[in-house]
Every structure is written in C-alpha cells, then in structure tokens.
Amino acid sequence: MIKKIPNPIDKHVGSRVRMKRILLGYSQEKLGEALGLTFQQVQKYEKGTNRIGASRLQQIAKILQATPAFFFDGSPQGETIAHEGFAEAPSSQYIVDSISSVEGLQLNRAFAGVKDAKVRKRIVDLVAAIADSQVETAEGNNE
C-alpha cells in the first residue's frame, strides 16, 4: 500500500492554521466544535493530511480572525507559478517551520511583550550567541 504524501501547500496552510489557533489560545477541540468537526479532523487539516476546501477555509479564517490569504502567506511556490524576484527563497522555510512550532510561538509571544527596545536587542544578541555556540560545539564534535 502506497502512503500518500501531503501537498506542500496543504501542509503550509495547515501549519498556518495551527499557528493562528495557538496564538489565539484555541485548542484543536475548541476549533473543531466551532467548525462542527472532531479535533481529529482539525489535526488532519493542520498536518496537511486532509486538504481544506475553500468554504471551510473561509470558516476557519472567520473563527481565527484572519483573512483566507493569511494562510497562504509564505507558501511554497511551484516552479510554474513562481515569479522571478517574488518567489521566497527555499531556505526561508526553516523560519516558517520554527515560528510555527509551539516553542517558536511561545518565544514570539513573550518577545512581543518586551516593551524596551534595548532589552529586545539584548535578547536577540543572547539567542544569537547561544545559536553560534551550538554551531561551534557541533563543529568541534565533528572533527
């Protein structure tokens, strides 16, 4: 039996639904109830396993206080529809993935609450230093 691989755009739209749902503090169950679905169906939408139809996406957008276009922001482009100069670099997908993670959302939510610009700059410097030290440690282990 061949396992069907989710379409990258369906996965992207689903991850954006998940991100917005978590940002608003909704559980999968709560979103499912608002849509008249089970939380399992919401899970399948978020993983890209099941494609979200246009009318359902409109419902989701209304519940999550977004526009349908929001769910396509930063979506992977097929070569036939990508336009030179407008297509997102393939390497930027890691940014979308990290921001869509639970930890990424928590970090962004906490960071948005920091009002002092100097403190925000120091936080960015700290995270960059931690990331750099992990790269150096990993490289040292490979030698």
List the chain pLDDT tens, one digit each, 143 residues.
Answer: 677 788 889 999 999 999 899 888 899 999 999 999 999 999 999 999 999 999 999 999 999 999 999 999 888 764 333 444 444 444 455 666 676 677 887 888 888 888 998 998 998 889 888 888 876 666 666 55
Cβ(73)–Cβ(16) below 8 Å: yes
Q: Which domain CATH number covers 62?
A: 1.10.260.40
Instruction: With respect to residue 60, please indicate whether it lies within any of the assigned structural domains.
Output: yes
Instruction: With respect to residue 63, please indicate whether it lies within any of the assigned structural domains.
Output: yes
Instruction: With respect to residue 104, please indicate whether it lies within any of the assigned structural domains.
Output: no
Residues 15 and 99: their CA atoms lie apart, in Å, by 10
Instruction: With respect to residue 140, please indicate whether it lies within any of the assigned structural domains.
Output: no
Number of domains in the chain: 1
Q: Which domain holds residue 65?
A: 8-88
State pTM to two decimals. 0.61
Rg of the chain, C-alpha, whole Å: 18
Cβ(74)–Cβ(92) below 8 Å: yes
